[in-house]
Amino acid sequence: MNSPDLSAKKIAIITENGFEEIELTSPKKALEEAGAIVHIISMQSTVRAWEKDHWSIELPVDVDISKANTDDYDALLIPGGVINPDKMRLHKEYISLAAEFLDSGKPVAAICHGPQLLIETGMIKGKDMTSFPSLKTDLINAGVNWMDKEVVNDNGLLTSRSPEDLPAFNKKLLEEIAEGARLTKEPLVPILIF
């Protein structure tokens, strides 16, 4: 099966220093190969990856988070790593942008420790999600229905457990972005006029 054509799509990746390298680079490559424009968004001018047990690559930031606008993007990706989400959740700019995406109904994807940032939004109660196992209790305490699955999709909120899940995560991410935004508000009830 071929990847969906995402040539008309623009994707935001929010990150801080300390993202798990493969959890940013693998989805980014899959998105770009499908034709999407991908922007790394951060408070930093460059962001440095963590790979297993050491600092690794440094990537340029495309957009400062103060200038990022949800309306400019079709989806949000939050890579994991132990350091990255822990740093992001200390800054209202990252929390606000994640909350705006959740509110928009556009796809939001988080892998490994990435869902830790979503806890801070206060908007994930009742959602089906997964994460790296060490976040299970935190997500349950936030009201999440935590599942031990390679990919969990709750109406466009896409989560995975670890780098081992990246092939399935990337595939589902492309599909979700191709489908687009979901109706997250109460459905409109037609008014019949006689």
β-pairing, 157-160 vs 151-154, is antiparallel
Contact (CB, 8 A) for 16 and 83: yes
Q: Determine, yes or no, domain membership for 100.
A: yes
Is the torsion defined by CA of 161, 27, 108, 80 positive or negative?
Answer: positive
Examine residue 142 and state whether it is found in any structural domain, yes or no. yes
Note the pTM of the prediction, 2 decimals. 0.92
Domain assignment of residue 22, yes or no: yes
pLDDT of residue 194: 47
Tokens of 137: 């209790």
Of 47-61, 159-173, 179-193, the range with the lowest mean pLDDT is 179-193
Q: Is residue 192 part of a domain?
A: no
How much is the pLDDT for 186?
A: 45
Q: Say how far residue 11 (Cα) sits from the centre of its chain.
A: 10
If one counts the domains in the chain, the total is: 1
Average pLDDT over residues 65-79: 97
Span 5-31, average pLDDT: 97
Q: Which domain holds residue 39?
A: 10-179
Computed over every residue of the chain, the mean pLDDT equals: 93
Compute the Cα dihedral for 11, 138, 128, 148 and give only its sign: positive
Residues annotated as part of the active site: 112-113
In a domain, 189, yes or no: no
Structural domain contains residue 185: no
Cα–Cα distances (Å) from 163 to 44, 112, 113, 143, in that order, read: 24, 7, 11, 25
pLDDT of residue 2: 72
For helices 21-33 and 166-179, angle between their N-to-C axes, nearest 10 degrees:
40
Per-residue pLDDT, 38: 98
**What local confidence, expressed as pLDDT, does residue 80 receive?**
96
* DSSP classification of residue 129: E
Range with the poorest average pLDDT among 48-52, 114-118, 122-126, 179-183: 179-183
pLDDT score for 193: 52
Cα separation, 70 vs 88, whole angstroms: 17
CATH of the domain at 113: 3.40.50.880
Q: Domain for residue 3, yes or no?
A: no
Least confident of 37-46, 55-64, 71-80, 176-185: 176-185
Q: Is 63 helix (H, G, I), strand (E, B) or coil?
A: strand
In a domain, 115, yes or no: yes
Percent of the residues in the chain that have a pLDDT greater than 70, as a whole number:
93
